[in-house]
Amino acid sequence: MPKIFFAPDRRAIEADPDETLLKAAERHDIPLTRICGGRGRCSTCRVMIREGLDHCSPRTIAETAIAEKMAFPPEIRLSCQTHIRGSGDITLRRLVQDEADIEITSLFVNGPEWNIAGTEKFLFILFADIRGFTSLSEALLPYDVIHLLKRYFHRMNRIIENYGGFIDNYMGDGLMALFESEDPLAGAYGSVRAGIEMLKEVKERMAPYVAENWNREFKIGIGLHCGMVVAGTVGTKKDCKQTIIGDAVNLASRIESANKDLGTSFLISEKVYNLLKDRLQTGITAKIPIRGKAGEHNLYEVVGIS
């Protein structure tokens, strides 16, 4: 008879063949939340299969609808829809354990698409920041500051989207854009091209516009890195937002900041450089310490791409 090992309960129970994980848990008084009554209409009975995924039945139509809506990886399963197949053991972890968990994970198929489970993704992460914006904003009227930012972000967003990316976050006068592609070479090329076009747009349109209207300089710095991140949504139904976290995000931000020390405008990491080195035109190459990172890191100034 197959066994199911539950965490964080530290309990092992015997299950009947072809029994759902939910029914097996109920027979042994292991609490699994099921707001919809175990009908595959919510996501609160979700569990993470740590071992034995091959001993679980394929997703049902109902489970597939929720899994696609919430971007569940294969190991996240609905216990009410997952049947035990064969005699193999399964190790799992209950993900919804109290009222707070219920509030942040409950989602009905016909409800708002607000809650995406955490998942790993390989992304190209681009940070851009306006140089000297604090002193620039102090010289402008409040209306002009916001107007200038809106104009700048509008133009940058158009370029980023044109190369397959999107702006994930605005941070004052800075932005973080993400590029995702099944082909790393395509992702690298698109994100670098976006950075080059952003600099061109600033030089040919934004800088003359600022100089004409306020007699000030307008420059930006760009940093680009790639790597695995954790992506998901945080917050409540009223104020949730998508976010990414991870070492790759922090390093991309540090690379953008390094432009100030090197007097450059567009720096990329060695990982991005290695994907495109035969097509890149580079300027300064520097090995520098990155704040918050051990050792020194090779950074490359991008001046063009073929």
Which pLDDT tens digit goes with each residue over 246-302? 889 999 999 999 999 999 999 999 999 999 999 999 999 988 877 767 778 899 999
For the domain that residue 222 is a member of, what is the CATH number?
3.30.70.1230
Do residue 217 and residue 100 come from a single domain? no
* Per-residue confidence band for 36, with pLDDT thresholds at 50, 70 and 90: confident
Angle at the Cα of 170 from the Cα atoms of 188 and 129, rounded to 5 degrees: 65
Do residue 67 and residue 149 come from a single domain? no
Residue 75 placed within a domain:
yes
pLDDT computed for residue 176 by the predictor: 95
Residue 111 placed within a domain:
no
Do residue 154 and residue 15 come from a single domain? no
Do residue 73 and residue 212 come from a single domain? no
By residue range, what is the domain housing residue 238? 119-305
Do residue 77 and residue 157 come from a single domain? no
* Per-residue confidence band for 237, with pLDDT thresholds at 50, 70 and 90: low
Residue 112 placed within a domain:
no
pTM of the model: 0.67
Do residue 159 and residue 205 come from a single domain? yes
Percentage of the chain exceeding pLDDT 70 = 88
CB 232 within 8 A of CB 240: no
Do residue 37 and residue 167 come from a single domain? no
Q: Where is the domain boundary, 47, 81, 105?
A: 105
C-alpha neighbours within 13 Å on the C-beta side of residue 116: 15
Parallel, antiparallel or unpaired: strands 174-179 and 266-269: unpaired
Do residue 165 and residue 294 come from a single domain? yes
Do residue 183 and residue 71 come from a single domain? no
Residue 295 placed within a domain:
yes
Q: Is 61 in a helix, a strand, or coil?
A: helix
Minimum mean pLDDT range among 28-32, 90-94, 124-128, 129-133: 28-32
* Per-residue confidence band for 222, with pLDDT thresholds at 50, 70 and 90: very high
CA distances for 291 relative to 23, 54, 268, angstroms: 52, 44, 16
Most confidently predicted of 70-79, 106-115, 219-228: 219-228
Q: What is the per-residue pLDDT across 186-208, written as a single tens digit (0 to 9) for each?
A: 999 999 999 999 999 999 999 99
What torsion, rounded to 10 degrees, do the Cα atoms 136, 140, 144, 150 define?
20
For the domain that residue 34 is a member of, what is the CATH number?
3.10.20.30
Domain count for the chain, please give it: 2
CA distances for 245 relative to 157, 190, 265, 297, angstroms: 22, 22, 25, 20
pLDDT computed for residue 43 by the predictor: 81
Do residue 22 and residue 145 come from a single domain? no
pLDDT computed for residue 54 by the predictor: 93
Who has greater pLDDT, 137 or 241? 137
* Per-residue confidence band for 101, with pLDDT thresholds at 50, 70 and 90: low
Do residue 11 and residue 140 come from a single domain? no
pLDDT computed for residue 124 by the predictor: 96
Q: What is the CA radius of gyration of the chain?
A: 25
Residue 210 placed within a domain:
yes
In the block, tokens 């300064």 appear at 284
Question: Is residue 236 predicted with pLDDT exceeding 60?
Answer: no
pLDDT computed for residue 199 by the predictor: 97
